[in-house]
Structure 1
């Protein structure tokens, strides 16, 4: 029997549905950016608070910046702010000069006025819809500029005498975002032009100490999730565009995750019922809830029998990152 079908059978047999569990609640909390097609007038009203992040020579925006950030940032002469068109335009013409101008701007605003609240020292790729690599940006600026970012997320499980259980980490209390909340088994951002599987394998080792060879042998790719929010990761008004590459992996007997890089406070084995109850109590990092919802759908735990809005739920888990000017 193929491994993915075998996994589906395992999860279906293990599923004890929580009576009060509501999958649709989480998509309503996360998929908050308005839809232009539903109400163009309301969408245009919403966009009055945003400026389009443009790169000179390209017709489409690369992101949306809230006016609160634009008004409080320091801009060099490598930028042009157009009030009439609500545009902030990066002027340099080469990949290297754009990247330098962007990261110099972010660094200055990190050190001077704290609009940039965190410095990642890790570059993320900014590309066109067709995949052209236009510049790199430090992670501290992705939410401010409302650009599309990519991450990798892994659901880890094991079989016990009590049945199938999930490995659930608690985030370190020293984390700058969502300290102490529960999380996916492993999650992280993809660096500039990093392959998703390579990023996932790297994150698994960094956060749990599980060797690369084990992960590559046992991990299963499960597609993607996409969402667009009206707040930044630290809760300020803005635009958060994100794509998740999602994976699942069974931890066989003797394979136990360990605290490895300080990102995790502890790991706990939780039953499906315990995970669902913790989700409903708001104990998980917000965007991680979608990873679990997608997992539940894949394995028949959430289906048309217990979620009457399953069609809309599935559609909104895969929002198109369509940046345009209205």
Structure 2
């Protein structure tokens, strides 16, 4: 299968548009680590002696106004409000509510009424929950689940003659972030209380009406981890730290996704040549472009002999957070 598809995607080598697109992605996903970046100016956010986040100086100044909850000490920012997850959650929620009401941090205008768990690492117990809109302000680890759905067409003659196509979603023009760009068929953040597979199945149904009995057949194929600098005007910004759990799902040829909760405008079933063209034109939400590139690499459709930036891509997709 991979050999035949590699033949159909033989144009994945370094063309001017393709190379420029890959360099843009590399610049974005290394932005938090370059000299002079916000990432190198952040203070660690510490809870119970464990680092759980990275907070940029401008946000630290805002949080210092609440000394019963946040205290700057020894080169870090300590959360001292509360002695258990529930008390910490309540204390931080009060701070965020006041900052939001006063319009102090623009990012809080994206309030979602959705909680993320705050952990020192994926396998560690949650120390508190925070509103999703504040996750990047605190630089906490955010976890997501993304689904690649693909179709194989044609008879398999043992020599990999089948054509591979990928289902993609086009984001609603009303989305507050990256409106109208291409996305993986289903994707979303992992809310408090959900497991990884549970979140993937939930998003698959809500966004694309993939029946749970089909979505549960998706295979976990790894995860991508990265950080980047994101600005809100000249002063305020944040370091976004994310880990995406990736699933592959072969769907039947007669399957067609349907618009569910309105976060998606429409769906496309494209051959991989056209998917590549969309990557090179910048038509993808950036982290979804990484998920597509990871898919091409894992299926042998993007080869190091064709892509001189292959090692840099691999490194940027698997950063230590």
Q: Is the TM-score greater than 0.5?
A: yes
Q: Aligned partners of 2:153 and 2:242: how far apart in 1?
A: 34
Secondary structure, aligned partner of 2:275:
helix
Question: In the alignment, which residue of structure 2 is the partner of 1:291?
Answer: 291
- Asked whether the 8 Å contact 1:171–1:179 carries over to 2, the reply is yes
Secondary structure, aligned partner of 1:239:
strand
Q: Aligned partners of 1:163 and 1:110: how far apart in 2?
A: 50
- Asked whether the 8 Å contact 1:224–1:243 carries over to 2, the reply is yes
Q: Aligned partners of 2:201 and 2:31: how far apart in 1?
A: 31
| Greater mean alpha carbon deviation, residues 278-287 or residues 87-96 | 87-96
Task: State the shift of 1:249 in Å.
Answer: 1.1
- Asked whether the 8 Å contact 1:167–1:270 carries over to 2, the reply is yes
Question: In the alignment, which residue of structure 2 is the partner of 1:188?
Answer: 188
| Greater mean alpha carbon deviation, residues 83-92 or residues 174-183 | 83-92
- Asked whether the 8 Å contact 1:257–1:267 carries over to 2, the reply is yes
- Asked whether the 8 Å contact 2:56–2:237 carries over to 1, the reply is yes
Flag the 1:155–1:233 CA change in 2: closer, same or farther, 3 A: farther
For each residue in 1:111-145, what CA deviation from the matched residue of structure 2 results, as whole angstroms up to 9, or x when unmatched?
A: 32151121121211111236032111110110100
The partner residue of 2:134 within 130, 133, 141 is 141
Is structure 2 residue 9 aligned with structure 1 residue 15?
yes
Question: In the alignment, which residue of structure 1 is the partner of 2:103?
Answer: 113
- Asked whether the 8 Å contact 2:5–2:163 carries over to 1, the reply is no
For each residue in 1:44-65, what CA deviation from the matched residue of structure 2 results, as whole angstroms up to 9, or x when unmatched?
A: x85674233222x31x421111
Flag the 1:10–1:213 CA change in 2: closer, same or farther, 3 A: farther
Flag the 1:174–1:281 CA change in 2: closer, same or farther, 3 A: same
Within a 5 Å distance, the mapping from 1:119-138 to structure 2 comes to 119-129=111-121, 131-138=124-131
Q: Aligned partners of 2:233 and 2:172: how far apart in 1?
A: 16
The partner residue of 2:146 within 142, 149, 153 is 153
Within a 5 Å distance, the mapping from 1:291-310 to structure 2 comes to 291-310=291-310
Secondary structure, aligned partner of 1:133:
coil
Q: Aligned partners of 1:179 and 1:316: how far apart in 2?
A: 24
Q: Aligned partners of 2:153 and 2:232: how far apart in 1?
A: 35
For each residue in 1:189-240, what CA deviation from the matched residue of structure 2 results, as whole angstroms up to 9, or x when unmatched?
A: 00124211111011000001111011113x1111100001121699962211
Question: In the alignment, which residue of structure 1 is the partner of 2:158?
Answer: none
RMSD of aligned Cα (Å): 2.7
Task: State the shift of 1:266 in Å.
Answer: 0.7
Q: How many aligned positions are there?
A: 305
Question: In the alignment, which residue of structure 2 is the partner of 1:39?
Answer: none
Question: In the alignment, which residue of structure 1 is the partner of 2:60?
Answer: 70
Task: State the shift of 1:71 in Å.
Answer: 3.4
Flag the 1:30–1:233 CA change in 2: closer, same or farther, 3 A: farther
Gap runs ≥5 in structure 2 = 155-161
- Asked whether the 8 Å contact 1:74–1:105 carries over to 2, the reply is no
- Asked whether the 8 Å contact 2:69–2:92 carries over to 1, the reply is no
The partner residue of 1:87 within 55, 69, 77 is 77
Task: State the shift of 1:75 in Å.
Answer: 4.2
Gap runs ≥5 in structure 1 = 1-5, 36-41, 322-326
